[in-house]
Protein backbone atom coordinates (compact mmCIF):
# COMPACT_ATOMS: atom_id res chain seq x y z
CA UNK A 1 0.00 0.00 0.00
CA UNK A 2 1.49 3.32 -1.07
CA UNK A 3 0.35 6.48 0.65
CA UNK A 4 1.44 10.05 0.27
CA UNK A 5 3.44 11.44 3.14
CA UNK A 6 1.07 13.74 5.00
CA UNK A 7 2.33 17.04 6.35
CA UNK A 8 0.05 19.46 8.16
CA UNK A 9 -0.69 22.72 6.34
CA UNK A 10 1.17 24.69 9.03
CA UNK A 11 4.25 22.46 8.70
CA UNK A 12 4.02 22.58 4.91
CA UNK A 13 3.95 26.39 4.96
CA UNK A 14 6.87 26.52 7.40
CA UNK A 15 8.90 24.04 5.35
CA UNK A 16 8.22 25.98 2.14
CA UNK A 17 9.31 29.20 3.85
CA UNK A 18 12.48 27.52 5.14
CA UNK A 19 13.16 26.11 1.66
CA UNK A 20 12.75 29.54 0.07
CA UNK A 21 15.15 31.05 2.60
CA UNK A 22 17.73 28.29 2.08
CA UNK A 23 17.56 28.59 -1.71
CA UNK A 24 17.98 32.35 -1.43
CA UNK A 25 20.88 32.21 1.04
CA UNK A 26 22.79 29.24 -0.36
CA UNK A 27 22.05 29.35 -4.09
CA UNK A 28 21.00 32.98 -4.57
CA UNK A 29 17.66 31.79 -5.99
CA UNK A 30 14.54 33.79 -5.34
CA UNK A 31 11.37 31.74 -5.78
CA UNK A 32 7.74 32.38 -4.94
CA UNK A 33 5.84 30.67 -2.16
CA UNK A 34 3.93 28.61 -4.71
CA UNK A 35 7.17 27.50 -6.37
CA UNK A 36 8.59 26.56 -2.96
CA UNK A 37 5.50 24.48 -2.20
CA UNK A 38 5.71 22.78 -5.60
CA UNK A 39 9.41 22.02 -5.05
CA UNK A 40 8.65 20.73 -1.57
CA UNK A 41 5.95 18.45 -2.99
CA UNK A 42 8.35 17.08 -5.60
CA UNK A 43 11.21 16.56 -3.15
CA UNK A 44 8.82 14.85 -0.74
CA UNK A 45 7.48 12.64 -3.52
CA UNK A 46 10.96 11.62 -4.67
CA UNK A 47 12.91 11.46 -1.39
CA UNK A 48 10.15 10.91 1.13
CA UNK A 49 9.74 7.15 0.63
CA UNK A 50 13.48 6.47 1.06
CA UNK A 51 13.64 8.60 4.23
CA UNK A 52 10.43 7.02 5.54
CA UNK A 53 11.71 3.50 4.86
CA UNK A 54 15.00 4.22 6.62
CA UNK A 55 13.07 5.53 9.62
CA UNK A 56 11.09 2.27 9.65
CA UNK A 57 14.30 0.20 9.55
CA UNK A 58 15.78 2.28 12.36
CA UNK A 59 12.62 1.89 14.44
CA UNK A 60 12.59 -1.86 13.77
CA UNK A 61 16.20 -2.16 14.94
CA UNK A 62 15.47 -0.17 18.09
CA UNK A 63 12.32 -2.15 18.79
CA UNK A 64 14.14 -5.48 18.33
CA UNK A 65 16.80 -4.39 20.84
CA UNK A 66 14.15 -3.31 23.33
CA UNK A 67 12.22 -6.57 22.92
CA UNK A 68 15.41 -8.57 23.46
CA UNK A 69 16.17 -6.58 26.62
CA UNK A 70 12.60 -7.06 27.80
CA UNK A 71 12.92 -10.81 27.22
CA UNK A 72 16.10 -10.87 29.29
CA UNK A 73 14.39 -8.89 32.06
CA UNK A 74 11.47 -11.29 31.98
CA UNK A 75 13.75 -14.33 32.25
CA UNK A 76 15.54 -12.71 35.21
CA UNK A 77 12.27 -13.13 37.13
CA UNK A 78 12.44 -16.89 36.72
CA UNK A 79 12.39 -18.77 40.01
CA UNK A 80 14.25 -21.97 40.72
CA UNK A 81 12.18 -25.14 40.65
CA UNK A 82 12.45 -27.08 43.94
CA UNK A 83 13.70 -30.66 43.63
Domain ranges (residues) in the chain: 9-75
Model pLDDT for residues 39-71, shown as the tens digit of each residue: 999 999 999 999 999 999 999 999 999 999 999
Cβ-based neighbours of 44, under 8 Å, separated by 6 or more: 5, 7
What is the value of pTM for the model shown? 0.71
Report d(CA 22, CA 40) in Å as an integer. Answer: 12
Mean predicted confidence (pLDDT) in 26-47: 96
Amino acid sequence: MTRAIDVSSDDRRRLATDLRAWLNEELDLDITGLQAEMLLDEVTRRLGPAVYNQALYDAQTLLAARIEALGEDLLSLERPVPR
